Amino acid sequence: MKLKQTDFETIQSKIYDYCGINLHEGKQALVRSRLMKRIRKLELRGFSHYIEFLERDTSGEEFLALVDVLTTNKTSFFRESQHFDFIVENVLPKINGRQVKWWSAGCSSGEEPVSCSIVLQEQNINARAVKILGTDISRDVIRKAKRGIYPANRIKNISPSIVKKYFNSGANGQCQIKKKVRKMITYGRLNLKKKWPLNGPFQVIMCRNVMIYFNRKTQKELVSRFWEILEPGGYLFLGHSESIASADRNFENISPAVYRKK
């Protein structure tokens, strides 16, 4: 089944206009393979027929399903562990004893906010003083995050003592996050390109391995909006392959992919 250039450009434009994700030319194979699964499920004839179906759907449900299948949700517990070391050594001593608001922007299926909650509890931070918000554009991964149930192989690289303290064993080779971890976290679906119904200021924002899917213009706009909702001296964590332009003097780069609001 061939994906015509015009059909690819239609999907490319719709996704960019909606959420800023840049499906450049190198993403054609990914778009084709993921859309084929959707086309088969809907029993449609091909990509052009799918686009017609998408545009006829006045409920908007199929467009949200399209967003779900085209967004990438690779993640793991304690990913880019140097950031968590930095948090323990440099961030937590400054915010301990305060009311803290923490945002995992692009939280996928919840591994990042869960990791944050565990780190905070390991450092004896008062759980009632911390609110962790996890958001993602995909409905599918937010549902998974809210359930807090993961295949056992997802925790194989976590120390057994941490697993014992914060995870319950379940059926069918699965494990569930314990209530004391989950009660720190609130999940919700959020499109980073649209208006944010959030009340700041935040002390910490983690938006790691998300901006790589945006073009430079969208990245710059997003960083500016993060600056507005962070408190002075607040921290922005990006993925290690991401950075803020050196010309942006509103943030100070204090560690690899770690920025502090001036």
pLDDT at residue 249, rounded to an integer: 85
Sign of the alpha-carbon dihedral angle for 213, 217, 218, 223:
positive
- Joined tokens for residue 236: 């922005």
pTM equals 0.92
Sign of the alpha-carbon dihedral angle for 230, 238, 258, 204:
positive
> At CA 18, angle to CA 17 and CA 23, rounded to 5?
65
Give the model confidence (pLDDT) of 115-139 as tens digits: 999 999 999 988 788 899 999 999 9
Angle between helices 47-56 and 28-42 (to 10 degrees): 70
- Joined tokens for residue 60: 């908007």
- Count CA atoms within 13 Å of residue 221 on its CB side: 11
Sign of the alpha-carbon dihedral angle for 139, 143, 148, 154:
negative
Tell me if domain 5-70 and domain 81-261 are identical in fold.
Answer: no
Which residue of the set 34, 139, 147, 154 is catalytic?
34
Residue 170 has pLDDT above 80, yes or no: no
68 assigned to active site: no
pLDDT at residue 238, rounded to an integer: 97
The DSSP bridge partners found for residue 247 are none
Assigned fold of 5-70: Chemotaxis Receptor Methyltransferase Cher; domain 1 (1.10.155)
- Count CA atoms within 13 Å of residue 16 on its CB side: 15
- Joined tokens for residue 111: 């591994």
Give the model confidence (pLDDT) of 72-95 as tens digits: 888 999 999 999 999 999 999 988
* CB-based contacts of 54, cutoff 8 Å, min separation 6: 14, 62, 63, 66
Residue 247 has pLDDT above 80, yes or no: no
Side by side, which strands form the sheet with 202-207?
185-189, 130-136, 100-105, 202-207, 230-238, 258-261, 251-255
* CB-based contacts of 52, cutoff 8 Å, min separation 6: none
The matching CATH number, chosen from 3.40.30.10, 3.40.50.150, 3.40.50.720, 3.40.50.1820, for 81-261 is: 3.40.50.150
- Joined tokens for residue 187: 């999940």
pLDDT at residue 173, rounded to an integer: 84
Consecutive H or E run containing 83: helix 81-86
Give the model confidence (pLDDT) of 11-68 as tens digits: 999 999 999 999 999 999 999 999 999 999 999 999 999 999 999 999 999 999 999 9
Domain boundaries, the chain: 5-70, 81-261
Which residue of the set 7, 38, 136, 208 is catalytic?
136
pLDDT at residue 171, rounded to an integer: 75
Residue with tokens 């599918």: 140
Give the mean pLDDT of 98-108.
95
79 assigned to active site: no
